[in-house]
Amino acid sequence: MTQHSVIEREVATPGHAIGSRVPRLDAAAKISGAAEFVGDMSVAGMVHGKVLRSNVGHAKIRNIDVSTAETMPGVVAVLSAADLVDIDPYFGHVLRDRPIVAIDEVRFAGEPIAAVAAETEAQAEAALLAIVVEYTDLPVVANLGAALAPDAALVHEGPTREGFAHGLGKLPERDGNVCYRYGFERGDIDGAAGLADIVIDREYEFPAVYQYSMETHTVIARYTGDEIDLWSTCQHPFLVRAEIAALFGLAVDRVRVVVPYLGGGFGSKSYTKMEPIAVALARKARRAVRIVNRVDESMVTTRRHNMKCRMQTFATQEGELLGRRVEFWLDTGAYADNGPRVTATAADAAPGPYRWPSLHVLGHCVYTNTGPAGSYRAFGATHLQWIGESQIDEIARAAEIDPLEFRRRNLLRPGEEVRPGGRPLDADLVGDVEKAAAAIGWGRERISNRGLGVSVGLLAAGAHPVSSASVRMDADGGVTVLVGSTEMGQGARTVMAQIAAEVLSIDPTDVTVPGTDTQFTPYDRSTGASRSTTVAGKAVELAAREVLDALFETALLLFAVGDRRELRADDGRIWLQDRSVVYPELIAKRFGFSGGELRGYGEVKPEVGSGSYAEGPVFWEVCVAGAEVELDRDTGVVRILQTSTIADVGRAINPQLIERQDEGGAMQGLGNALFEEMLYTDDGMLLNDTLLDYRIPTIEDLPEKTTCIIVENGDGPGPFGAKGCGEGAVAALPAAIVNALADAGVPMTELPLTPERVWRQIQETENQE
């Protein structure tokens, strides 16, 4: 029996454009196949680019011979490191460590070495085969153990170079293969260890995972000497613009980045990815070039960090929490990408939302000879929540307290400190976890081979709060919102239309939200970290208010009244008591002409918004879920019978889109927990680099019952009290599943929960008994 998602509304939402299930404005175009993605676009004179990638994990490049390839049919240009001597060809927003193509050395299997532009894709592919690369093998450190060994070969030898946009303060010098460290301490952790009756002390492993946005990384680049045009599958067009401008020595306004619809992102298209190689190839070819990654290429372009972790939690026999010590090592692959930020966010998530008299958290970001790891939905929180929450359950069991009751007693309350100096807790976690538990039948009679689990966590969300937007009302009253949030499936364009429509009291379908074109769209830092509704949405609200102000200004003249408070906006009109005038009439009156437009501009920066944006993070995203599992003890197969997820969103702009975010996030969490894992050989070769071997959830994995509960407490810093969502379920569900499996008698310290791993743990547990 399928149970449909349940909506729980705690606060009635005023107005009509927000809080309602407005159908996606882009749905019809996407269903019909008319919606345009980068791979559907072409530019005059465009040729096709293909990338030659390393087939060894770590080697010196003795020689690259492209001379035969250059003479092949249809070939326009062949790019290699020799073509990059006139620029500083390294990129990376945190660490500037990644060459556009390998220079003298390859550091992972799959690293770009050269690229070919040809009239057809087939000609480009044929030419790749004619490029001869001679290698001298170097020692490969393909995993954390090898990279952290005392005499480990170094992935990078040179000094650390800082990237242009990391927001991590002063970066430490590289230490062996450790490229970044972050941690914090509070209280006397050794004292806590000495006082503890209950000590949970375990080591854990978390796998590398592929985001699999179904549209792979795709770029069209055009280089005209003093201008670069890009059409790219990027989540952060303005950061890509800045990085490309710096790489190729142009002013920012000489680089234009256009982003149409994205076929999924999930973090895999954050920051700069395939854009530099596409631009470099177009620069050489003097033609526009399109590069479309295959799936195996996208898998080595970015992935989620695998991790080792040791966690200790100390408590008294009565279940009083005394302290937690956490040390973890994230494998960021051969280039840092967003690894240092992931490390910091993971450290923030490590304590979990509890009151700790003492804490010691230290995270390491480690280079290895594997494909670079960067952002994947709910990064950091997903890594740590299942570990911390499984230890909370262990303590509750040892203290003979129901895990839900244990959380009731120990979870942080609104207003309490989460981390020293940061934003205090802005959510009702106890209420949230009680709802998640109730939805899966918490407290019912035990059923053999079944288990129930809940989990609670927080994700530092919002990234750096810099967004701007403009809203234009044309003479006929139609509204266009220009905002840099990338529409990648989450529904950003629909939500932005709703926000503008709410302010202007018009129908959301009268609002158009085009894709980003950095030449016209106001600056927005990025699309990620659940920030679009909260931060960019606030900019849209402010911009729409300026348009409304202009309408009121004209209406005051028209109605010959002096006080704006006598007027109100409703249903596309400005009203004075029972008299009203439609917006187009006001615009005509304002300009004394049949044309013209009203423009509003809104910006969000750290000190705006009653101080709420000044504190880091912008908001704490709530990660709460429940799960019921069924275990087959003979085979180790784990089946998810039901899930519950909490979307604690402050105010629901569009409840239907929120449910879809939670359902999608939960399914990614399920895949991460049960079977997704990138497998490498000891020499750094990725073994499962196709969808045949790398399995993601199908519709047959959908649990019988999934419940999404929307909580609206009006406690967000965004428009109308909203805060972001969409990542919490990814972090929370694996933790709830691990706890449910432990409740069924099988505690696990390694993901994913493959039948073999679970079966071995069952044998081990039974042998101990």
Interacting residues with another protein (CB under 8 A): 2, 4-5, 21, 23-24, 26-37, 39-40, 212-216, 261-264, 266, 294-295, 488-491, 656-657, 659-660, 662-668, 690-692, 696-702, 706
Rounded least distance, CB 212 to another protein, Å = 5
Rounded least distance, CB 695 to another protein, Å = 9
Rounded least distance, CB 488 to another protein, Å = 6
Task: Give the span between the Cα atoms of 238 and 236, in whole angstroms.
Answer: 6
Token pair, residue 28, equals 């019809």
Rounded least distance, CB 367 to another protein, Å = 28
Token pair, residue 590, equals 């304002």
Compare residues 92 and 703 and give the one whose CB is closer to another protein: 703
Can you spell out the DSSP letters for 645-689? EEEE-SS-S-HHHHHHHHHHHHHHHHHHHHT----B-TT--BS--
Contacts of 514 (CB under 8 A, 6+ apart): 480, 482
Residue 623 near residue 457 (C-beta atoms within 8 A): yes
What is the β-pairing status of strands 597-604 and 467-474?
Answer: antiparallel
The kind and range of the H/E element at 769 are: none
Task: Give the span between the Cα atoms of 14 and 534, in whole angstroms.
Answer: 18
Rounded least distance, CB 542 to another protein, Å = 27
Compare residues 336 and 641 and give the one whose CB is closer to another protein: 641
Tokens 């954390």 correspond to 144
Compare residues 316 and 656 and give the one whose CB is closer to another protein: 656
Task: Give the span between the Cα atoms of 536 and 236, in whole angstroms.
Answer: 13
The strands making up 450-461's β-sheet, listed across from edge to edge, are: 450-461, 619-632, 637-648, 705-711
State the Rg of the chain over Cα.
27
Rounded least distance, CB 128 to another protein, Å = 17
Contacts of 188 (CB under 8 A, 6+ apart): 323, 358
Token pair, residue 709, equals 């509960």
119 assigned to active site: no
Rounded least distance, CB 527 to another protein, Å = 13
Task: Give the span between the Cα atoms of 761 and 586, in whole angstroms.
Answer: 72
Single out the catalytic residue among 320, 502, 677, 727.
727
Compare residues 40 and 162 and give the one whose CB is closer to another protein: 40
Let me know the angle formed at the C-alpha of 65 by 59 and 69, rounded to the nearest 5 degrees. Answer: 125
Compare residues 122 and 582 and give the one whose CB is closer to another protein: 122
- Alpha-helix runs per DSSP H in 137-185: 144-148
Compare residues 27 and 582 and give the one whose CB is closer to another protein: 27
3-state class (DSSP) for residue 619: strand
Q: What is the 3-state secondary structure (H, E, C) of 194-214?
A: HHCCEEEEEEEEECCECCCCC
Classify burial at 193, counting beta carbons within 10 Å of its beta carbon; exposed 0-12, middle 13-18, buried 19 or more: middle
Compare residues 136 and 690 and give the one whose CB is closer to another protein: 690
Compare residues 594 and 690 and give the one whose CB is closer to another protein: 690
Q: To 10 degrees, what angle do helices 537-559 and 492-504 make?
A: 30
Let me know the angle formed at the C-alpha of 308 by 307 and 309, rounded to the nearest 5 degrees. Answer: 115
Backbone angles phi, psi at 632, to 5 degrees: -95, 105
Rounded least distance, CB 529 to another protein, Å = 18
Compare residues 94 and 623 and give the one whose CB is closer to another protein: 623
What are the catalytic residues? 727
